Structure 1
Amino acid sequence: MTIETDRLRERVAAELLRTRDRTALLTEAVDDGDLIRQHSPLMSPLVWDLAHVGSQEELWLVRDVGGRDPLRPDIDELYDAFKHARRDRVALPLLTPAEARRYVAEVRDKALDVLDRARIDGGRRLVTDGFAFGMIIQHEQQHAETMLATHQLRVGAPVLTAPEPPAAPSFVGGEVLVPGGPFTMGTDTEPWALDNERPAHQVQVPAFHIDRAAVTNAEYAAFIDAGGYDDPRWWSAAGWEHRQTAGLVAPAHWQRDGDGWVATTFGRTAPVVREEPVVHVCFWEAEAYAKWAGKRLPTEAEWEKAARWDPATGRSRRFPWGDETPEPRHANLGQQHLRPAPAGAYPAGASPLGVHQLIGDVWEWTSSDFHGYPGFSAFPYREYSEVFFGPDYKVLRGGSFGTDHNAARGTFRNWDYPIRRQIFSGFRLARTA
């Protein structure tokens, strides 16, 4: 056993603990009635998410990596995300909150024992660099963001609190030119990168302009006030059909208040903050706004080049600010704040070209469909991403205030249906140079 392996085990153990603390906070903030209730047909009951993260941890760490006997093979199908749609999960014979907590605790004890004993520094690809553990850590962190979205849809007294996001030293606006040319997209070196982020490959991107900040509440309100939701000129055919069918008139959770707007955030209603990025808009809304503004959404390749390309060296960084793991000064991540921060609030996280807050705050819609990169190979199972490839899903990038830093790499890819807006989604604009 090497010093590097010891450090990796310590890191994995610390991340498992930190991640479980967030899961516990999100599930212990409400009573059992709220845990088993379905707050929206778009979301699972919180108690399903809780047991599901334990089930995945058992399948991959306890059974596969550890070779241990199953704890609860009888519940495998209940917590298989592909067996039951979210809207149907509330009717399943799920574990009770008390049973779910006991189950995830027992799984965690066994997983930590596996961590102490299993080889994690080579051999099987699944365990090289602790990948299986990193995959499970990120999986639970992704469900923490999903559970946070469920909390946003929950009706009742507020139960979550967090400090206000930092103020911006100065407002950031305008756009920057990203020169044309090749850059390396994706990764071969990030040890916990998931299959759809691989392999690294060179992409030729023509010159383009991209906004220095995401579209703000004030800017989006101007679109509404200009009749943007009532004018089909700005909407694609599919977008206009959805706007009419869904009755969209403003971002989710916004309500009129005289001449202005208020928004309800985790049970608290307050005026929208003009300088903060707009959040809870779907792809069709983002696309319509972009056309109204005389611009467009960036492609996924443009977004990643703006976030990673270093004009001084030509190399692709891990993050806009460099290769350093995100710290609180860089980005609004990890549910440390419960809403986006104003444009310009994280100058330390800006890219060399001066593009701000590409990581954190809001997931940013791109114009790209979700596909595998050239040379893509599913690992360790097709259902993580390959089954979603195709024109039905649009790619989002950058992470939100609800995203953990482990799932906010410059290469990390999120995807969802273009109608979805319960997620913490916003956007920024681009235009061809």
Structure 2
Amino acid sequence: MTHPAHDAETLRERALTTLLAARDRTTLLTSCVEEPDLTAQHSPLMSPLVWDLAHIGSQEELWLLRAVAGQEAIRPEIDSLYDAFEHPRAERPKLPLLSPEEARRYAAEVRGRALDVLAGAAFRGTRLTEAGFAFGMIAQHEQQHDETMLITHQLRRGPRALTAPDPEPAPLFTGPAEVLVPGGPFTMGTSSEPWALDNERPAHRREVAAFHIDTTPVTNAAYQAFIDDGGYRDPRWWTADGWDHVRRASLTAPLFWHRDGGQWLRRRFGATEVVPPDEPVLHVCWYEADAYARWAGRRLPTEAEWEKAARHDPATGGSARYPWGDADPGPEHANLGQRHLRPAPAGSYPAGESPLGVRQLIGDVWEWTASDFLPYPGFRAFPYKEYSEVFFGPGHKVLRGGSFAVDAVACRGTFRNWDLPVRRQIFAGFRTARSAVAG
């Protein structure tokens, strides 16, 4: 048996590493532009970058300093300014927000105190402190806001402010277009992942009929065929709500795409480039993903189907943490953590494929599923209802798998994301599925 002190030190090191990595990324995202770009609202869908910066500090203070350590509030007068549920994003620029310099100082002071709390943490006693959950929750929260800020950078007009190397070139994928996932039960969700969030819990058995799922996400080239075939002009492929949205919003292609002569171009982090045919399609809403699937004679996978394809090992009957097993993600497994600023070509990362041979289930693009965001049987909100519970219902669709903008700490085979079916600014794509024919 491992000595308890070793367990505590391992947890402490993991918490420290993930907190520091998140702050390094936050610093990059808020230091690569000048103050006017930090305080401006680049889209009514997004907060000013400076709001995200101070909100990160506010949540860290709330949970690590006040809830875990029992400390007095540093600046209680700003609590309501950075309450995400009190002020919609479109209204946040009008608030008396901290200046960029004040926000940096505040976040740094909170972080200094939080690291002192971490140094003395016992990692036991309450559900919040058990296995360092509160520290993991805050690291995930910051990384989620880092992804949000990266979305804001994509929406921002002006010259490129961020750079990163492109993914390694990959040979054109020539494997099977789809994979058969056998029918039967599997274990969905988790009761053992220490930093899993409330909506991932508890583990439960789910029966899933046999189905086929795309080996890779749908590519830009495949999606262009839908456009060229008049997909955006044909109501046959759209739900009633989707067709209404297409006409109201005048959708004709994924967000950031435009046609120049005979080719499609896209804007990506301040630069214009030819849409790469072999990359997974990006910046499509749920309605677009659903319409493409119908056009192709297929459908979006349900959330349970997606997770079975990602976690189930037919040889053992068990469910792994990731498609490739239980090991934490490495650069050979998936495109995560803003290491690149684009998806890798479809078919990349063979080391990350599932036991059935499905690729790129983790990283690259969030994948829309057919499912509404609903609680699992036995769900209990923790540590606050506003993380998941208030979003349950038919208004939000589930996304799975993470994107190139997601850090590994906030991405696993059980991780659930959700958004409104009209959202396109997020780094979302999809893959399709079809039911297996009996007999």
Amino acid at match of 2:336: L
Aligned: 1:108 with 2:111: yes
Quick one: which amino acid aligns to residue 160 of structure 1?
A: L
1:50 is paired with a residue whose SS is helix
The corresponding residue for 2:23 is: 20
Match in the other structure for 1:135? 137
1:9-408 to structure 2, matched below 5 A, reads 9-120=12-123, 122-171=124-173, 172=175, 174-408=177-411
Cα deviations by residue, 1:82-134 (Å, 9 ceiling, x for unpaired)? 000000001000000000000000000110111112321x2111000000000
Q: Cα distance, 1:168 vs. partner? A: 1.8
> For 1:258-280, what per-residue CA distance to the aligned partner results, in whole angstroms no more than 9, with x for missing partners?
12201110001000110000000
* TM-score, normalised relative to structure 1: 0.99
Tell me the SS of whatever aligns to 1:2. Answer: helix
- Partners of 1:223 and 1:387 in 2: how far apart? 35
SS in 1 for 2:80: coil
> In structure 2, how many angstroms separate the alpha carbons of the residues matched to 1:170 and 1:264?
24
Equivalent-residue separation in structure 1 for 2:321 and 2:402 (angstroms): 14
Give the SS at the match of 1:187: coil
Alpha-carbon deviation of 1:238?
Answer: 0.3
Q: Structure 2: which amino acid aligns with 1:155? A: R
Displacement of 1:10 in angstroms is: 1.6
Deviation at 1:303, TM superposition (A): 0.1
Preserved contact between residue 12 and residue 119 of structure 2 (Cα < 8 Å): yes
Identity of aligned residues (%): 69
Provide the C-alpha distance between the structure 2 equivalents of 1:268 and 1:257, rounded to a whole number of angstroms: 15
CA offset digits 1:317-356 (Å, max 9, x no partner)? 0000010100000000000000101011111101111100
In 1, Cα distance between equivalents of 2:282 and 2:410: 19
Does the 8 Å contact 1:145/1:402 carry over to 2?
yes
Q: TM-score, normalised by structure 2?
A: 0.98
Q: Is the contact between residue 51 and residue 100 of structure 1 (CA under 8 Å) also seen in structure 2?
A: yes
Gaps in structure 2 of 5+ consecutive residues = none
Paired with 2:11 and 2:419, the residues of 1 have a C-alpha distance of 33
Q: Distance in 2 between matches of 1:276 and 1:11?
A: 33
* Runs of 4 or more above 3 Å deviation: none
- Equivalent pair of 1:369/1:392 in contact (CA under 8 Å): yes
Q: Provide the rounded CA distance (Å) in 1 between the counterparts of 2:237 and 2:23.
A: 44
SS in 2 for 1:134: helix
SS, match of residue 384 in structure 1: coil
Q: Are the counterparts in 2 of residues 333 and 405 from structure 1 also a CA contact under 8 Å?
A: yes
Amino acid at match of 1:323: D
1:43 maps to a residue whose letter is: M
Distance in 1 of aligned mates of 2:196 and 2:41: 32
* Aligned partners of 2:211 and 2:435 also within 8 Å: yes
Which residue is 1:422 aligned to? 425
Q: CA contact under 8 A between 2:18 and 2:409: conserved in structure 1?
A: no
Deviation at residue 166 of structure 1 after TM alignment: 1.6
What is the CA RMSD across the aligned residues, in angstroms?
Answer: 0.8
Q: Is the 8 A contact 1:65 1:118 kept in 2?
A: no
Deviation at 1:173, TM superposition (A): 5.1
Describe the SS at the equivalent of 2:117: helix
Gapped regions of structure 1 (runs ≥ 5): none
Distance, in Å, in 1 between the alignment partners of 2:423 and 2:356 is 31
